[in-house]
Amino acid sequence: MTGENATPGAEPWLAVLGAGVMGTGIAALAVGHGVAVSMIDVDRRRLAEAPARVDRQVRTARLMGALPDSTSPGALDAGLSLAEVSTGYAGNLVAVVEAVTEDPDAKAKVLADVSALVDPGTPIVSNTSSIPIDELAGAVARPEDLVGTHFMNPPYLIRTVEVIRGRRTGAQTLTAVRRLLAVLRREPVVVDDAPGFVTSRILHPMINTAARVVAAGTASVESVDQLMQGCLGHPTGPLRTADLIGLDNLVDSLWVLHARTGDESCRPCDLLVAKVRSGHLGRKSGRGFYDYEGDLT
């Protein structure tokens, strides 16, 4: 798990950029598997809330048997920048995971900043559901160090991780990410780069279509999900899945897909857009296609 620049005997250390839903989920997965994590976010309120959110997820994962019993949790700290937290570690930065909002410009800026700080050969991982890695590679100093991942939510329950190999991703970077995922007991499936990769290119237009069916009055939200579960074997139903993804993240991803493929099935439907404008973002906001009052994490 340690890279060529690691300090022998030092504690493995993962930096996670972004303390939102996916950032805290990835951090909880790592902490639960004994890896020290630094959470980085410029939003002070979100950063202050992150340790408690990570702790809740670690405890939930342990209660569900999703973490190894014999592993002590890794340390967790938080800061406004990578430079701020790096002084507390002995140089064993195994990877930096960028998990900011699904916006190409925002991701490119964060990736450019971090690539200027870390040593060459340190894997820089963009956790994205739709943005091509080759597109983001234009922002980093060393494109060979950049690789994509698409963790599913919640990361501690879903063992398979989509890994995106950009055209310029180096073999050493891919090997390092496989090694990290092995420590986290995740199963990587490596795919080539394209807008939406595999999972989002298939799933997100399907969710969009499900929302259109509801908007047309053909069936209720509950009926759509029940039919997809009972007849087609979808584990949660597309609209409950949308709430788990976050409707704002889903709409952002659909716009990325629409702009880069021209596929009209990826244009976010009016119902999705209206829910986002109303602040009904899914489980994380307490309301989306379903209500989650009193069930926020």
Catalytic residue among 150, 204, 258, 280, which? 150
Residues 6+ apart with CB under 8 A from 51: 39, 76, 78
CA–CA gap between residue 27 and residue 38 (Å, rounded) = 8
Asked if 280 is an active-site residue, the reply is no
- Tokens 């919640």 correspond to what residue? 154
Task: Classify strands 36-40 and 76-79 as parallel, antiparallel or unpaired.
Answer: parallel
Residues 6+ apart with CB under 8 A from 289: 211, 214, 221, 239, 240, 242, 243, 275, 282
CA–CA gap between residue 191 and residue 201 (Å, rounded) = 12
Give the other-Cβ count within 10 Å of 92's Cβ. 19
CA–CA gap between residue 262 and residue 241 (Å, rounded) = 24
Q: Hey, which residues are catalytic here?
A: 150
